[in-house]
């Protein structure tokens, strides 16, 4: 992937990794479509993008609103834009045990993290195929590779994304569609602050592991390096990523480690 002169659609662009990736991409003379629920945050990102000499178009989106997703894609494509890359970072996490999590919370998390991502992908993918190809990237997580306490629905939603996007790649590699899953570790974003507790309230604080994680800017650098190489999975983080190798080669040991880790 050569970023220069191309058009990318980024969700979750108002903060965290979505914002940092947007700003990093804007250094390559790109056109960026920026989406998030946070309209004020999008304006801030757009200003940073334009200061770097790239173009920014704001398209506010609630990833739980499927009709709005399809309507927004129709509007964007109707204006003649060619989407070269769709990078999705929008999502919501949780901080509650399986036994105390209401089913409504599970559904909310799946609606945003899985069905919203699926809807936007389905709306954009035919356009990419018609125009000769494109790149899809979606934010997964370490817990998209294994279960983790207090993250049941969040983990499940990320697991589901792997199956969905791996299938897209198998079906559409011949159409020059490339897929990258972003395996995020400890990164200093607001995802734990906005995670929902068992009663649906916001968790309201950054977990200690995240607070000690890498910056969103460093994460963006790792992500763009992987996207440029069109890697199917891009680990994002620091020393904690060793857990992926432990899971692969020592699954029994991994299970013991996960049971003992502090989830918050």
Is 2 part of a structural domain of the chain? no
Domain count, the chain: 1
Say what the pLDDT of residue 176 is: 98
Residue 74, domain CATH: 3.40.50.720
Give the 3-state DSSP-derived string for 205-236, with helices as H, strands as E and coil as C: CCCHHHHCCECHHHHHHHHHHHHHCCCCEEEE
2 in Cβ contact with 85 (< 8 Å): no
Is 86 part of a structural domain of the chain? yes
Is 249 part of a structural domain of the chain? yes
21 in Cβ contact with 223 (< 8 Å): yes
154 counts as catalytic: yes
Residue 35's H or E segment, with its range, is: strand 31-35
Q: Which residues contact 36 (CB under 8 A, 6 or more apart)?
A: 11, 12, 13, 14, 15, 18, 42, 60, 61, 90
Query: Both ends of the chain: CA-CA distance in Å?
Result: 37
What's this model's pTM, rounded to 2 decimal places?
0.96
* Residue 117 belongs to domain spanning: 7-260
Say what the pLDDT of residue 262 is: 82
d(CA 26, CA 32): 8
Catalytic residue from among 87, 150, 154, 173: 154
Say what the pLDDT of residue 209 is: 83
Is 71 part of a structural domain of the chain? yes
Say what the pLDDT of residue 119 is: 98
User: Hunting for tokens 């049971």 — which residue is that?
Assistant: 259
C-beta pairs of 156-165 under 8 Å, 24+ apart in sequence = 156/106, 156/110, 157/91, 157/109, 157/110, 157/113, 157/114, 158/113, 160/110, 160/114, 161/113, 161/114, 161/117, 164/114, 164/117, 164/118, 164/121, 165/121, 165/136, 165/138
Q: Which residues of the chain fall short of a pLDDT of 70?
A: none
């Amino acid at each position: 992937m050569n970023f220069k002169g191309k058009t990318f659609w980024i969700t979750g662009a108002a903060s965290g990794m979505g914002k940092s990736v947007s700003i990093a991409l804007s250094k390559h003379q790109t056109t960026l479509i920026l989406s998030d629920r946070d309209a004020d945050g999008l304006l801030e990102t757009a200003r940073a993008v334009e200061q770097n000499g790239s173009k920014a178009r704001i398209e506010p989106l609630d990833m739980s609103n499927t009709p709005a997703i399809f309507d927004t894609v129709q509007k964007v494509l109707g204006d003649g834009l060619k989407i070269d890359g769709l990078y999705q970072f929008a999502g919501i996490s949780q901080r509650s045990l399986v036994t105390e999590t209401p089913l409504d919370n599970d559904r909310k998390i799946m609606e945003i993290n899985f069905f919203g991502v699926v809807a936007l992908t389905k709306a954009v993918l035919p356009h990419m195929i018609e125009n000769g190809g494109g790149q899809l990237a979606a934010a997964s997580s370490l817990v998209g590779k294994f279960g983790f306490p207090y993250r049941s629905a969040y983990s499940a939603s990320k697991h589901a994304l792997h199956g969905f996007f791996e299938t897209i790649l198998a079906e559409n590699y011949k159409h020059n569609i490339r897929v990258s899953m972003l395996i995020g570790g400890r990164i200093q974003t607001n995802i734990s602050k906005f995670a929902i507790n068992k009663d649906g309230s916001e968790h309201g604080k950054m977990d200690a592991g995240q607070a000690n994680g890498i910056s969103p800017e460093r994460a963006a650098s790792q992500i763009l390096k992987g996207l440029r190489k069109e890697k199917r999975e891009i680990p994002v983080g620091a020393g904690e990523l060793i857990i992926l190798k432990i899971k692969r080669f020592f699954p029994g040991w991994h299970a013991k480690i996960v049971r003992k880790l502090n989830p918050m």
